[in-house]
Structure 1
Amino acid sequence: MNIVFFAHPAFLGHQSMPRFAQMLADGMAARGHTVVVWAPEAAFSRLPAPGPLRKWLGYLDQYAAFPAQVRRRLRACPPDTLFVFTDHALGPWVPLVVGRPHAVHCHDFLAQRSALGEIPENPTGWTGRQYQALIRRGYTQARNFISVSRSTAADLQRFLPAPPVRSDVVYNGLNQAFGPQDPGAARVHLAAKTGLPLADGYLLHVGGNQWYKNRRGVLELYNAWRALSAHTWPLLFIGQAPDAALVADHATSPYRADVHFLTQADDALVRQAYAGAQIFLFPSLAEGFGWPIAEAMASGCPVVTTAEAPMTEVADTAGFLIPRRPATGGTAWAADAARTVEQVAALGPEARAQAVAAGLANAQRFTAAHSLAQIEAIYQDIVRTPTAA
């Protein structure tokens, strides 16, 4: 196959989407397909300008300059070229290839749902609603979709004006070599490398400041757990530097001396952190998939996560489930969820080994090779099927 992947521009500074696009491109190239990646390049957005204006200059790069480039490039593409949008948020470019073989990968519709007022934790302003409407007008013209979870596929179905030609679900494959390590050795090494008191064990969260990651809820949960537990394990946040709200919450925590933020961690350190954690906390409010659940389980770490899809899809029966934090506040929620955390903390050696084994077995569902094989078969079927264009 000849495959053109549409990807987010590098100047946006995204993390997970470029990795996903690269995994697809590398995976298909390794399978013998001819692959090229198209993405906007910084031109207008390189001009000196204040922050808010720079965003609008970036829109010129994405939605004025880049479409003109695509139209020129399309003339050189063979008729059987498959055009793949690595994220449905690239929807404004979909009309450029309607009528030719194409596929759209869908990760989550949280921004779309927020723009419609469906998520009270994330209100969207007027310009944001217009932008999401532009994205929706684009991807709804597509005919072939691949979603990362059944939950995402269900949202897609609600947003499409008519049934698509095909709508498949392919779970994400882990894009790093996550695996169990000796927990004690991992903790000692991590403590030495970071200078933090982690050698005796710790609780872990990996994620950014996005509203749905619920980092403030992680801290609430930790505070409630410490209040009832005899354990004094610290809490390690890995990801972005905390935002102002989390900084304020941290300042009032009675256990603030035991809460540590680790930013700019490389992949090797993150893998080690998963392997050494006593418990991985992932009380997300929403996700498209929930990569860290699979990453932690593949690393041999028990997971406490939210009892809602798609977290339940990824954790399956191997996770320890807690309710979703209510939009009205988390005090009662944290006290309830802390009892589940303590249940995991109190596991004896045999019970913990069983929990770890269940997680490792569950994580086998999310191998990159399996995901890429499924995606390749879908791509090939789209190219072979004239009605899929």
Structure 2
Amino acid sequence: MKILLIGNYPLDAIISMDIFASMLENYLTKVGHQVRIVCPNPWFGKLLSSPNSLRKWLGYIDKFVFFPAQLRQALSWADIVHICDQGNAVYVKYLGNIPHVITCHDLLPIRSGLGEFPQYRTGWTGKQFQQMVMRGLNQAHKIACVSEQTKSDVLRLSSLSESAVSVITMGLNYPYTPMKATESQPRLKALGIPENYPFILHVGANHWYKNRLGVLEIFHQLILQLQQPEFYLVMVGKPMTDEMRQFIKTHNMTQKVIELVEINNENLRAIYSSATALLFPSLYEGFGWPIIEAQACGCPVFTSNRSPMNDVGGEAAIYIEPEQPKETAEEIICNLPTLEKLKSKGFVNSQKFSAEKMISDYIELYQQAINEKYENKVKII
């Protein structure tokens, strides 16, 4: 098959979506398919001297004025089009009769625009854009959801039939495996993580639903209850917000919290392999990649007792209530002596989420979309 992947605007820097598109390209090519990625070129968006608000609008010119013509040129080559991020469903109207698939990671922005999250308000322009995204989803041939929770949201909020919506869970995006201490310790030292001391790990961006301030609140409760002087929190991901930094300063945790911004996969593997546990108390998720990444490295996981986190973690994670810091800290302390038992369960659970299985499922879905389109064409004739 000739598979055209529609990727994200580079200047949006949505790293997880870029990783997903690269996964598809690499694995589909390995099994013999022809793959091209097309995404909006950042011509106007590169005018970095402009203020942030203006830069966003310049980006819209790249995405919605210039990219459609670029996309139309690319379509003539493709047998199937795969929109890798549901946020780009706005491009469905340009695909015409070409069979296509959209991966829906979550509907959190759409749900926010509908007022489903009192703790986070979407502005007027954001609501208009999410309505455009929803219209695109409603016109899609096939939608692959990364979890049952996302599928439930799609069926609840869209006009699509159940036959058009399926679940294809994410695969591991890197060959995460336990790293020996002889290799991991030099890496940790170079990253500024104190040698041979226990630490809790969090991996994530600054989206409100990631609950990173909640991570700090839980860790503060851990410090108070453990009364262990050499115990640390490692925060991996985007730079912390001003609110997070102020919380750390106010609670005298400056020497206890280690911030690591967008590190490479091998360093992350070293950290997973050495951490006491991953703390992943998201309020909502589409899937939750760090859960299986940690498990694949032998890192025990504490995560929210909410779907899809409790589906992804299976029987190999310990579940907590993300909005109850004191109780969560107590749960972590209670389970510290027995965390070793979770490691083998985590290995087994993480193997359910292989990239090869994900790619096989997508190839099957592509074929379904192509076959259905051909059958409809025959009926019309």
User: What TM-score results when the alignment is normalised by the length of structure 2?
Assistant: 0.93
CA distance in 2, matches of 1:124, 1:161: 23
Shift of 1:336: 0.7
Letter in 2 for 1:22: S
Tell me which residue corresponds to 1:43. Answer: 43
Alignment root-mean-square deviation, CA: 1.7
Tell me which residue corresponds to 2:28. Answer: 28
Preserved CA contact (<8 Å) 2:188 2:271: no
Shift of 1:5: 0.8
1:341 aligned residue (332, 341, 350): 332
Tell me which residue corresponds to 2:219. Answer: 222
Does residue 1:209 correspond to 2:206, yes or no?
A: yes
Q: How does 1:1-389 map to 2 (within 5 A)?
A: 1-47=1-47, 48-74=49-75, 76-77=76-77, 81-163=79-161, 165-182=163-180, 184-185=181-182, 188-231=185-228, 232-325=230-323, 333-347=324-338, 352-386=339-373
CA distance in 1, matches of 2:131, 2:207: 21
CA distance in 1, matches of 2:93, 2:341: 50
Closer, same or farther: CA 175–162 of 1 in aligned 2, 3 Å: closer
CA distance in 2, matches of 1:124, 1:306: 24
Where 2:42 maps in the other structure, the secondary structure is coil
Letter in 1 for 2:235: F
Preserved CA contact (<8 Å) 2:99 2:141: no
CA distance in 2, matches of 1:295, 1:24: 18
Shift of 1:241: 1.6
Letter in 2 for 1:345: L
CA distance in 2, matches of 1:230, 1:376: 53
CA distance in 2, matches of 1:4, 1:92: 16
1:29-64: CA deviation from partner (whole Å, max 9, x where unpaired): 111112111111022223452221111111111111
Preserved CA contact (<8 Å) 1:186 1:276: no
CA distance in 1, matches of 2:207, 2:224: 27
Shift of 1:165: 4.1
CA distance in 1, matches of 2:29, 2:376: 23
CA distance in 1, matches of 2:183, 2:296: 15
Where 1:365 maps in the other structure, the secondary structure is coil
CA distance in 1, matches of 2:103, 2:322: 27
Preserved CA contact (<8 Å) 1:280 1:296: yes
Where 2:351 maps in the other structure, the secondary structure is helix
CA distance in 2, matches of 1:5, 1:385: 20
Shift of 1:260: 1.4
Shift of 1:119: 1.2
Tell me which residue corresponds to 1:330. Answer: none
Tell me which residue corresponds to 1:328. Answer: none
Letter in 1 for 2:84: T
CA distance in 1, matches of 2:131, 2:329: 40
CA distance in 2, matches of 1:109, 1:38: 23
Shift of 1:87: 0.9
CA distance in 1, matches of 2:376, 2:359: 20
Shift of 1:77: 3.1
Shift of 1:186: 5.8
Preserved CA contact (<8 Å) 1:149 1:169: yes
Preserved CA contact (<8 Å) 1:382 1:388: no
Closer, same or farther: CA 281–388 of 1 in aligned 2, 3 Å: farther
CA distance in 1, matches of 2:193, 2:316: 30
Structure 1 residue runs of 5 or longer lacking an equivalent are 326-332
Preserved CA contact (<8 Å) 1:144 1:167: yes
Where 1:286 maps in the other structure, the secondary structure is coil
Where 1:49 maps in the other structure, the secondary structure is coil
1:295-315: CA deviation from partner (whole Å, max 9, x where unpaired): 001110110000000101110
User: What TM-score results when the alignment is normalised by the length of structure 1?
Assistant: 0.92
Where 1:104 maps in the other structure, the secondary structure is strand
Where 1:84 maps in the other structure, the secondary structure is strand
CA distance in 2, matches of 1:307, 1:181: 29
CA distance in 2, matches of 1:10, 1:162: 30
CA distance in 2, matches of 1:263, 1:317: 31
1:305-348: CA deviation from partner (whole Å, max 9, x where unpaired): 000001011101111001131xxxxxxx111111111122222x
Preserved CA contact (<8 Å) 1:305 1:320: yes
Q: Which shifted more, 187-196 or 377-386?
A: 187-196
Shift of 1:230: 4.8
Preserved CA contact (<8 Å) 1:279 1:303: yes
Where 2:286 maps in the other structure, the secondary structure is coil
CA distance in 2, matches of 1:238, 1:165: 39
